[in-house]
Amino acid sequence: MFDYKKFEQDLVIAMETTLRKWVREYDDIYILSLDCSRDMTSIGMIANTKHYLSEQSDPDVEDYWYYKYCEAEWELWEADGFIKEISSYMNQYVEENDECFTDPETFEFLDVFDEHCDKMIEACKKALKRFRECIRMDFPDLLLTFNIGEYLDHEERTQFFALVNSKDASAEYTEHIAHFN
């Protein structure tokens, strides 16, 4: 049985540790994303700095929103250390349950996997909310996102964003989501 509560707790610790490590080197981080693989076998963190964003685009240019909010275009990536350990036990659980998670003929995910996926997403949501509370005093303006590449639709992404960011930031994110998702 997967320990979703431990997973949530481990994510909060990993996000805080990684952010604090990054800010020692970069003083202008404006956004951090928790990025999960669709098959629930790995997770990582991605962040961007204002300096890097300014090198990629200008606010007056049409592609600015893409560079501002598209995780694939960001500067900082973390998949080592404690986050690597979390990915390891995520992967181990999926491997151990492959027979009940995936149809052997079609290789499509089965309902049991979808239930696991939903619980993982809920744990990530709780972790992001807890992380927001942990960093609110030190990083009140840091934007937080959650991504599962090619899985979450616009509505789901904007709901996650609104859960842990201000109304103004959420309005901007929602207004421009078609540019980056």
State residue 34's pLDDT score.
97
C-alpha distances (whole Å) from 21 to each of 65, 75, 170 are 27, 15, 26
Q: Do residues 177 and 159 lie in contact, with contact meaning Cβ atoms separated by under 8 Å? A: no
State residue 25's pLDDT score.
96
Instruction: Give the DSSP letter string of 42-77.
Output: -EEEEEEEHHHHHHH--TTSTTHHHHHH-GGG-SEE
State residue 180's pLDDT score.
80
pLDDT, tens digit, 9 for 90 and up, residues 17-66: 999 999 999 999 999 999 999 999 999 999 999 999 999 999 999 899 99
Banded model confidence at residue 79, pLDDT cuts 50, 70, 90: confident
* pLDDT(136) > 90: yes
Phi and psi torsions of 78, nearest 5°: -135, 120
State residue 81's pLDDT score.
83
pLDDT, tens digit, 9 for 90 and up, residues 87-103: 999 999 999 999 999 99
* pLDDT(80) > 90: no
Position with higher pLDDT, 126 vs 1? 126
| Interatomic CA distance for residues 154 and 124, integer angstroms | 18
Strand partners, 51: none
Across the chain, what does the average pLDDT equal? Answer: 95
State residue 149's pLDDT score.
86
State residue 64's pLDDT score.
95
State residue 9's pLDDT score.
98
Instruction: Give the DSSP letter string of 14-38.
Output: HHHHHHHHHHHH-S-EEEEEEEE-T
Q: Could you count the other beta carbons within 10 Å of the beta carbon of residue 71?
A: 22
Reduced to 3 states (helix: H, G, I; strand: E, B; else coil), residue 168 is: helix
Instruction: Give the DSSP letter string of 109-129.
Output: BPHHHHHHHHHHHHHHHHHHH
State residue 7's pLDDT score.
98
